[in-house]
Chain A
Amino acid sequence: MTSRRTRTALLLAVVAVIGSGTPSAQGRPNLSGTWKFMTSTPANYPGSNGWGVPSPTIVVTQTATDFTIESGQFGATPMKVVYKLDGSDTIWEGPSSSQSGSTAIVKWRTKASWDGNRLVLYTWNTALNQMRDIMTLSDGRLTIVRATEQPGPSTSATLTYGKGS
């Protein structure tokens, strides 16, 4: 009897350990909220580059299927951008600033996927702007490892946001 109880307890313990190591929708962080920009490395990123500039405030809404960001980091004007979390493309038309500084209506494309507890977001538009953000949540801070592509050299930076109101 004691032996059976011990075996059952051990089995439950094993199941619990395995279960905790398996990424699940429930185990992934919820990044929803209003986030205030704190720091970037390098500082003053991305210099004169008008694409990928850290927005002072970003507002995130996360559901089981979508991830939505409202911010000005996509160019000259604040935008609401939706990413599907199943890795599929979302394509729409909207304004974007171009390399020459003008604004035009262009095609946009986004997609997202989870890599463990890291959320990987891709954004493209046909004004030759591309951005990859890798988001993680730790100690109440949102860290974004950002990489952008435009004509000319690529850029990379780590951005830190704290919870805002």
Chain B
Amino acid sequence: MRRILSLPAALAVAFFVLGSSASLQQRTAGPASAKGGVGDITGPYEVPDPKWPEWAHPYPKPGYIWGSQGGVFAESPNRIYLANRGELKLPDRVPNNFPGNWGFFNQQAATQPIANMVNTIVVVDGNGRLIEAWNQWDHLFEWGRGPHQIYISPYDPERHVWVIDDMRHVIFKFTHDGKKLVQTIGVLDEFSDNEDLTRLRRPTMMDWLPDGTFFVADGYGNTRVVKFSRDGKPLMKWGTPGTGPGQFRTPHGIAVGGSPPRVFVSDRGNRRIQVFDVNGTFLDEWPGIAPHSMMMSADEHVWAVDSVTDRIVKFDLTGNVEFSFGQFGTRPGYTWAMHQISADQEGNLYIAEVFGGRTQKYRPKLGANPTHLVRGRTLMPMAGGTR
């Protein structure tokens, strides 16, 4: 008989324990190192530049700082999309040792009291220099809490950019250059229940099959997965509230892959990953982890970021843990609520943190075990040439 701790209770315990750990780190760790703690902090990676990305340091504009970072997607080593959930006004006085990220203030929600929805989608190069700011779309996020996740399907030769807005109940599909909003999945500001295929309620994350079919975890409000055709037509859904097989409490992350293809769903509130075939038939569950996010790697593994322990865990497709690293904290290399991870073709790993209020770039250490590196899926060559 397995006893499942309720999510609020689990989070309270986690934050108490991890908060104590953070205090210990601050007493023992150097100002820019990932030392201390009880585990392998950065695994096979190092953080070469704690002030990456350059454009946001010291501040996007005087007196303001990045808030919650919902998502990151590395299209290439020199084109990285960042999804920001608004900028926050700094206190009038900040300590001299302020490192530049909101997590330093230890306030958990990096969206309070008011996040200004500016620079919600930006594109930076490998050095973190600003390439594009899609400010023309900032208004879309004004009455929500900003972009929740950002993606490019590995199977799309046009490389559309997909942005999920959970609190406005929609998914936006933009052209690659951000000039056009070509499709909206769901209905802006409207939501419904598990039975309604046309409206979502707080969608969270998505992933694709090679034929363009995609799956959406839906989400904070509903308790289901919705399957869409490549042109965005809803095909089917599965899931009900509860704790049994095929039931969910906050299905948050989703990853698709394997042969035959399977759908891996982070059932965060039930602290498990559930596995389904592409038509929603329950196949398996992997208990003991409550991922915010998951991604399918090029070597067909599920990488999950645990919301309780702040560890990055590598699973094979049968649920065996092969490797893990990471630890809660606000110093460089540590993380606070990893929300999306992405890896480029040179092996760099990018981690967006919703509570830490930053996106960090991790570079493989010299001689790192290649099986311990997150390998991003290769994107289909872009029609007309890549950027």
Contacts and interface: CB of A to CB of B under 8 A. Distances in A.
A127 B113 contact: yes
- In the complex, which range does the number of interface residues on chain A fall in? 20 to 34
A147 interface: yes
A35 to B, nearest CB: 26
A76 to B, nearest CB: 13
Interface stretch (A12-20, A51-59, A67-75, A150-158): A150-158
A153 B250 contact: yes
A38 interface: no
A145 to B, nearest CB: 11
A53 B142 CA distance: 24
A11 interface: no
Contacts of A24: none
A103 to B, nearest CB: 8
A49 to B, nearest CB: 11
B201 to A, nearest CB: 6
B269 A99 contact: no
A98 B112 contact: yes
A124 interface: yes
Interface range, B side: 20 to 34
Contacts of B113: 98, 100, 102, 104, 106, 127
B112 A99 contact: yes
Interface string B240-264: 0000000001100000000000000
B107 A100 contact: yes
Interface in A115-138: 122, 124, 126-128, 130, 132
Nearest to B142: A126
Chain B at the A interface: SS class = loop
Contacts of A132: 191
B346 interface: no
A109 interface: yes
A132 B145 CA distance: 17
B114 A106 contact: yes
Contacts of A154: 201-202, 220-221
A149 B167 contact: yes
Interface in B203-245: 220-221
Point out which of B108, B167, B249, B250 has the most chain A C-beta atoms below 10 A from its C-beta. Answer: B167
Contact of B143 (A98, A99, A124): A124
Interface string B14-38: 0000000000000000000000000
A151 B109 contact: yes
Contact of A151 (B111, B142, B191, B269): B111
Contacts of A149: 167, 202, 220-221
B108 to A, nearest CB: 7
Given A100-B108, A102-B113, A128-B111, A153 B269 contact: yes
B167 A102 contact: no
A104 B113 CA distance: 7
Nearest to B252: A153
A130 B142 CA distance: 13
A39 B119 CA distance: 44
Interface string B29-52: 000000000000000000000000
Contacts of A130: 143, 167
Contacts of A153: 220-221, 249-250, 269
Contacts of A106: 113-114
Contact of B114 (A104, A122, A147): A104
B114 A127 contact: yes
Which among B108, B113, B221 has the greatest number of chain A C-beta atoms within 10 A? B113
A122 B201 CA distance: 15
B189 interface: yes
Interface in A39-94: none
B357 to A, nearest CB: 14
Contacts of B202: 149, 154
A102 B91 CA distance: 14
A114 to B, nearest CB: 16
Nearest to B166: A149
Given A106-B114, A109-B143, A153-B269, A100 B109 contact: yes
Identify the 7 closest CB pairs spanning chains A and B, nearest first.
Answer: A154-B221, A104-B113, A100-B112, A98-B113, A98-B112, A124-B143, A99-B109
8 contacts: A100-B108, A104-B114, A124-B189, A126-B114, A126-B115, A128-B111, A147-B221, A154-B201
